[in-house]
Amino acid sequence: MPLYEVEGKTDAGEAGGYVNAETGRVLIKVEKGKQPERLDRVLVAAHRGANRAAPENTLAAIRKAVEFGADLVEIDIRQTKDGRLVLMHNATLEKTTNGQGTVRDKTLEELKELDAGSWFGPEFQGERIPTLEEVFDELRGNAYPDFDLKSASPEVFVAALRAEREKTPDLFENSGLYCSNLELRRRVVELEPRLRVRHTVRNGELGLASVLSEFDPSLVNVEWGDFTEGLIRKIHLAGKKAVVNTHGRHDTEFKMKAAIEVGADIIMTDQVDLLATLLRETSPRE
């Protein structure tokens, strides 16, 4: 594998590294006074937790994701009527609970009465909608959250993250933030610019330049239909991380292996156990 050496400066001083000439990916980072750090490990992101093994966006799914070896757990965030942050993908309750109506029209107490597990299987009867604080307690020291912010007050959301950062000092450096509501995301980033934003590229390489110039995200989301080796390389050469989504109907072993081969930094999957197993079987790229 062809490598080339780079040198430069960081806030901490002089730094260098070794880059894969084919993918543009930094494999080893060297900072003055520190041991060399390998950066070639692909991270596993569990889409809504391990949602093939347990009901999505529940503590059961999060525990399974951690058990399977997830590095990141993607969670959907909404705000209740009384201002609490909870996990729920849809705005309405019918799909994944025995309740009716919307999250924003219910208090936390009302939501906690609902069964969020029976729809998935009888063994999960009584599983509750978790709060963000409960999720932080579950993940702390085990994995990092990847936030999909659906609907919430920017101030409330940022306050919750800052409170957790007191307990997890490297939270901002290792988590991610996705939000399809660009105005909401803009306000969140204004309040807390240290967050790593994840933005989706449309139209492959043609769309990357505009995404980088307009949004400058730390993490670049790549949907499977737009996935090419050239796109991943350009993401890396721009100093960004490539997040490849294989979840849904594209979540196959073949496509996971393809994403690993061309240099994805993070792969988001519904099949956490399968991806983690593949990565254990794949030796680090030298």
Note the pLDDT tens digit of each residue in 107-161.
999 999 999 999 999 999 999 999 999 999 999 999 999 999 999 999 999 999 9
Whether pTM > 0.75 for this model: the answer is yes
> Average pLDDT of 27-37?
56
Distance (Å, rounded) from C-alpha 211 to C-alpha 34? 34
Of 240, 148, 243, the residue nearest 188 (C-alpha): 148
Report DSSP letters for 156-171, one per residue: HHHHHHHHHHTT-TTH
Distance from CA of residue 116 to its chain's centroid? Answer: 22
Residues 195-220 have pLDDT tens digits of 999 999 998 888 999 999 999 999 99
The answer on pLDDT for 285 being more than 50 is no
* The pLDDT of residue 79: 99
Of 253, 255, 232, the residue nearest 243 (C-alpha): 232
Beta bridge partners of 165: none
CA-to-CA separations, 58 to 77, 96, 182, 244, in angstroms, rounded: 12, 10, 26, 23
Distance (Å, rounded) from C-alpha 264 to C-alpha 233? 9
**Distance in Å from the first CA to the final CA of the chain:** 7
> Average pLDDT of 38-65?
94
The answer on pLDDT for 59 being more than 60 is yes
Q: Is 66 helix (H, G, I), strand (E, B) or coil?
A: helix
What is the third-level CATH fold of 41-281?
Answer: TIM Barrel (3.20.20)
Weakest mean pLDDT among 73-82, 96-105, 126-135, 257-266? 257-266
State the average pLDDT for the chain: 90
* The pLDDT of residue 29: 54
Of 179, 168, 251, 177, the residue nearest 219 (C-alpha): 177
Q: Where exactly are the structural domains of the chain?
A: 1-40, 41-281
The answer on pLDDT for 286 being more than 50 is no
Weakest mean pLDDT among 181-185, 197-201, 252-256? 252-256
The answer on pLDDT for 96 being more than 90 is yes
